[in-house]
Amino acid sequence: MLTTQTPATCHHLFAHPATDADHDALTDDLAYFRSIGDGAGILIAVARLTGAAACRSQLTGAAR
């Protein structure tokens, strides 16, 4: 779990989620973008989710 500490900040162009809550919110956003056919939104959400686990483990030292 990453939620008990102040999250580190991701400095990638499309920032990865730094907490479990951020990750869950972004996953919900992706579902919404898909439901309305927002291609740009889908692309950005996928970019933010792609590699997120590796980035988060580097930020926090935790594995997900």
Q: Least CB distance from residue 34 to Zn ion, whole Å?
A: 22
Tell me the number of residues near Zn ion by CB under 5 A: 4
Instruction: Tell me if 64 contacts Zn ion by CB under 5 A.
Output: no
Q: Count other Cβ atoms within 10 Å, centred on residue 10.
A: 19
Instruction: Tell me if 55 contacts Zn ion by CB under 5 A.
Output: yes
Instruction: Tell me if 56 contacts Zn ion by CB under 5 A.
Output: no
Q: Give the burial class of 49: count Cβ atoms within 10 A of its Cβ; 0-12 exposed, 13-18 middle, 19 or more buried.
A: middle
Query: HSE (CB half, 13 Å, CA atoms) of 31?
Result: 6
- Which residues would be at the binding site for Zn ion (CB under 5 A)? 10, 12, 16, 55
